[in-house]
Structure 1
Amino acid sequence: MAAFRDMEEVSQGLLSLLGTNRAEVQQRRLLRRHEQMVERLLETQDGAEQRLREIVAMEKEVAQNLLDAKEQAHQGGAKLQQLEAELQKAGEEDTHLKDSLLQLTQELDELKEIEADLERKEREVEEDTTVTIPSAVYVAQLYHRISKIEWDYDCEPRMIKGIHHGPSIAQPLHLDSTQLSKKFISDYLWSLVDTKW
């Protein structure tokens, strides 16, 4: 603003000099001063434009930094939500696993109690059977001597398989209990026993 006032004063001074017949020296001095003011004005304008460009560049950089910061904050928020969801899911799974472990521990304790009870009952049965009942091995040996049948215990549950060692030759047994009655099977097996003593 001051530069424009100075220019106005110089212009008025030039006009007044032209109107009066003053010396040429003063006119040159005023013209020089006018040129200096114009140069100063141009320099000031160039400096202002440079500063304006710098300010615009800084504003752009600040705006870009702000946008980047907002994007990072948004990504960080999304990542945080994802981590919170994963943490909640892991907590639920941990609770579920703890419940399952507690249930399995209870079941294991129950099985141990059942096993101890079975062992106690087996001991009681063994004590009772040793006194009054012959051993199962003795009964099996006695049955084998009488019937002369060697049983196949690895066959299917509903099949009766084995080898009968008869008086002359051994013959295989293969009976299907789903197709034959219990009476027929019993009669057939008794018919294999040698009645000659």
Structure 2
Amino acid sequence: MESVDEFLEVADEFMQQESLNIARAREQISVVKQNVLLIETLRRALEDQIKTDIEELISDKQESQQSLLKQEQQLRQEMESVKRKNMELSAGLAEREQEKAGLKEEREQLSEERERQENETKVNIPIRKEEISLYTCISKIRWDFNTPKHEVKGYVSRKGSVKPFCFDNRKTSQFFITNALWDAMQEN
């Protein structure tokens, strides 16, 4: 019987050990369950945080995209405005270039005309002086050139007599003045 008693003792020890093992296993299972619940809670909290972060990123991205779209639209409008202004300035520049070319051509023509007149004057002044001197000798009329433009003034000198004249060409006709001067020349 001793072996049965020993066997029972061993079995009893084994059962106690098994009970202890089961109790430890239950404690470990309880700890594992608690850890699983804690992990599940943390996982949910992390998922919620990740969802919130993703939503914020999406919102920030959308705001950023909207801001970029507004900036792009503003830049396009500014670019169109600059293009229009550039076209206006280019057209204005072309007009100024044409005006400049026209003014340059006009200046050249005026220079040529001035040069022509100077040459003509250099040639004609002596001729005109000669003609005036000849007419003065023939007609004996001395003109007063220091009078207003509307006055014809001077004197006629013939054979020792001097006859002054003064006419206002605003009040007297050219025909009358001419006849009066012819008469004055013939009287002497």
The TM-score, its normalising length taken from structure 2, stands at 0.60
CA 38–106 in structure 1, closer or farther in 2 if over 3 Å, else same:
same
Q: Answer yes or no: is 1:151 the counterpart of 2:157.
A: no
Percent identity, please.
12
Q: Would you say the 8 A contact 2:140–2:158 is kept in 1?
A: no
2:91 matched residue in structure 1: 85
Are 1:107 and 2:107 matched, yes or no?
A: no
Specify the code of the residue in structure 2 equivalent to 1:42.
Answer: D
Aligned to 2:176: 160
Helix, strand or coil at the partner of 1:160: helix
Displacement of 1:72 after TM fit?
A: 1.6
**What do residues 106-137 of structure 1 show as CA deviations (whole Å, max 9, x unaligned)?**
1111211221121231455478789x858544
Aligned amino acid, residue 114 of structure 2: L
- SS at 1:153 equivalent: strand
Task: Indicate the residue corresponding to 1:173 in structure 2.
Answer: none
Structure 1 residue ranges without an equivalent (≥5):
1-20, 162-176
Matched, 1:60 2:66: yes
Q: Answer yes or no: is the 8 Å Cα contact 2:140–2:157 preserved in 1.
A: no
Q: Does 1:142 align with 2:142?
A: no
**1:73 partnered with 2:89:** no
In the TM superposition, residue 28 of structure 1 has moved relative to its aligned partner by 3.2
Q: Note the C-alpha offset of 1:159.
A: 6.0
Select the structure of larger CA radius of gyration: 2
Query: Residue in 2 aligned with 1:11?
Result: none
The alignment covers a number of residue pairs equal to: 143
Aligned equivalent of 1:45: 51
Amino acid at match of 2:156: A
Q: Is 1:34 equivalent to 2:40 in the alignment?
A: yes
By how many angstroms is 1:24 displaced?
4.7
Task: Please state whether the residue corresponding to 1:152 is helix, strand or coil.
Answer: strand
Aligned match of 1:168: none
Residue-by-residue CA offset, 1:35-93 (whole Å, 9 max, x unaligned): 12111110111111111111112211221221122112111111111110110010000
| Structure with more of its chain in helix, by fraction | 2
1:118 corresponds to = 124
Q: Secondary structure at the match of 2:176?
A: strand
Cα displacement (A) at 1:30? 2.5
SS for the counterpart of 2:158 is: helix
Q: Where does residue 172 of structure 1 map in the other structure? A: none
